[in-house]
Structures are given as structure tokens and as C-alpha cells.
Structure 1
Amino acid sequence: MSDPDLNPQPLPPEHGAGAPPEPGNTGATPPPADAAPQQPGYPAPQPGYGSPQQPGYGSPQQPGYGAPAYGAPGYGAPAQPGYNALAIVGFILAFFVNIVGIILGFVALGQIKRTGEQGRGLAIAAVVIGFAEIALGILLAIVFSVIFGAAVSHYRTY
């Protein structure tokens, strides 16, 4: 039993070498004197084959090889845009200076709609809290006015 894959076949002659060489003349040119000796029957290795040359220390690495640099974006989900700064400031100011909180809340809603940032809930909360505090202030002013008016009308002078 002989396997044809394990038995090497002689290589076919190259183009133009149909006739066998004359005795004493192999048809090959002798190698130069400074060339390295070749093993018989094997062709010379082609450039670009074999193991790649590794860069030495301090030499730049080719792009795409190795781990990404520290802090460099890698694989995974893309980074989401952060919270809109005006939404945060408007939410905080809505408790203290409600008019400014309302204005910043509306401006932040416009920016969030345009840029896709986070913080829509904060901007809405700034507007709602600002209007609620204004309404509460107006209601308290009316209540105190009524109480003060009633107190003055019952005050008798003798």
C-alpha cells in the first residue's frame, strides 16, 4: 500500500528545458563565491515568507496590533453623551431663583432635542418646579392679603 501524497514525485522540467542536459553539464550556473551553500533539491526561500520580524524595544508598533493604549476606546458600546449642563443648573436654580430655573430649563430642552444629550427629565423638572413655586408664591400672596385685609377691617380705633 502506497499513498500517493506521501511519495514525492519529481518536479516537471522548467519551460525550455524539454531535453535532458548533456553529460557533464547540469545546465545550472554556478553560485557566486560569496553566496551561502544551498541544500540540493530545495529552492531558495522566497522573501516575505517565514516568521515576521518583531520590532525591537522602543520602535513604533504597527497600527492594529497589540492591546489599545490605556484609556483608548476599545470594543463595546459607544459612549453616551453626558447630561446637559443647563438642565442640571436649571434644576438646582429652580428651587432658589425660580424664574432663572424656568428659563434654563426651556433652553436645556431645546439643546437636548438638538444634540441628543441626557438630562431631559432634569430640564422638565426645572420648568415644573419653577412654575409650581411661582404659583405657590402667588397663592400665598393672595392668602396673606386676604388675612391681612380681614385683620385690618376688624381693628377698631376708639
Structure 2
Amino acid sequence: MAVAKDMRLRRWVSYAACTWAVLFAAPHVWWALGIPAGFPGGEASYHRFMGSTWRYVYDLVVVALGGVGVVVALTLRAPGGAGRWRGARGAAVAASVALTLRGVAGAIVDGASDPVWWPTFLLGGILYGSLAWLARAPRSNVTARVPSATREIR
């Protein structure tokens, strides 16, 4: 019963992380296409930043990483998912660390003046960290690893 409940939780966290990755990548798609809607700092900031090639490339990289995030989340959804792609759990941990650090840094620097982006980063970090935690290998009983000869010493 507990295993089924754990799997259901893992599935829902996986779908939430997948949804987060798609929603996070979406504005980068329209910013790369030249639409300034929702850009931090408004339209003037958008035109200043998007005037450089690096910002366009940055948006494309974020969209690609969003795709990787979807693949990681869906790979870790089922039991044995980390076994299908060995790096999936490591990618989830790396995403969790990077997103959480960015979220915490944004909270410290921007605080209440940015009610959208730092919480978004922090939520992504929490989701991918939770997914990595839920996808860990099940631990066997400690006594099962002890050779039988030493277990029966009286």
C-alpha cells in the first residue's frame, strides 16, 4: 500500500516538474521570437537586452534546457526510470541545486520587488529536488547486507 502511494506521489511530482519546465520555457520562446510580453523590466528592458546576440542564444538554450527538464521528469516518473537513463537523477539534482540557488539569490537581492521570477526558480528547484529524492533507489534492510554467518552469532 505504501509503495503504491509513493509511486502516485512520484508520478504527480514528475508531472508537476514537467509542467514547470514547459511553463518556464514558454516565455523564452516568445521572447526569442520578438514578443516582449512578460519580460522582466518591461518593454524598454526587453529591447535593451534583446539587442544583443547573446540574449537570443540564451533564450534558445533555456528552451532546450526546458526540453531536457521535460525528458528528465518523464524519465524519473516510473520505477526504474533512472536506470533507463543513468544521468536522469543526476540531472534532476543539478537542476534542483541551480534553480534553488538562483531562487534564493533572487529572494535576497530582489525580495518583494520581484514577486514572479525568484519564486518560479525556487519552485523549480523544489520540484526537481523532490523528484530526485523520490527516484532514489530503495534501501534494503540493513540485516540483509550482513552475511548470514555473522547474524547467527549468539
> TM class, shorter-chain normalised?
under 0.3
Higher RCO (CA-CA < 8 Å; seq separation 6+): 2
Max Rg structure:
1
